[in-house]
Homo-oligomer: A and B are copies of this chain.
């Protein structure tokens, strides 16, 4: 059975051209949780060919945002107010998996965290970044 917020999240996700450009997909949606994955593309590298920090950030931030969306009123959206990332290891491998999680839901502010792992060709995963930030529920534009 799918989560009631999945259709909203899938529709929003489909409108994010950045997610399409990254080749990202939705893996899991549950109460206060969202997992996304994206291939580590050659076009998104830093100077040594690892994934750029901007890609790791984009995936982690987006997963955290959709985690927040599962816990707010259906007619509302969320925007990132602020986000902090600690990079633990280069993003090398075949794909990134980002898992966002709500730490404290709220009507005005939703505090979130995310973890981003890099998956090697043999399926082994390594934690490459952690994020902590704030989402703000807003009325749709």
Chain A residues packing against B (C-beta within 8 Å)? 12-13, 15-18, 20-21, 42-49, 52-55, 57-59, 61-62, 77, 79-89, 103-104, 108-109, 111, 113, 127, 130, 132-134, 136, 141
**Out of B16, B111, B127, which one reaches A88, CB within 8 Å?**
B111
Structural contact, A85 and B87, CB atoms closer than 8 A: no
Tell which of B21, B82, B85, B130 touches A44, judged by Cβ atoms closer than 8 Å: B21
* A43: B residues at CB distance < 8 A: 17-18, 20-21
Taking a contact as CB atoms under 8 Å apart, the answer to whether B108 and A130 are in contact is no
Which secondary structure dominates where chain A touches chain B? Answer: mixed
Q: Which residue of B lies closest to A138 (CB)?
A: B108
Q: Report Cα–Cα, A20/B54, bound state, in Å.
A: 13
With known contacts A82-B134, A130-B113, A42–B17 Cβ distance under 8 A: yes
Copies of this protein in the assembly total 4
Query: With A57-B58, A61-B54, A113-B130 in contact, is A85–B88 under 8 Å at CB?
Result: no
In whole angstroms, what is the CA distance A82 to B80 when docked?
Answer: 13
How far is A33 from B15 in the complex, measured between Cα atoms in Å?
Answer: 36
> Could you jot down 6 A-B contacts, CB within 8 Å?
A15-B47, A18-B52, A53-B58, A82-B133, A84-B85, A108-B136
B84 contacts A16, C-beta separation under 8 Å: no
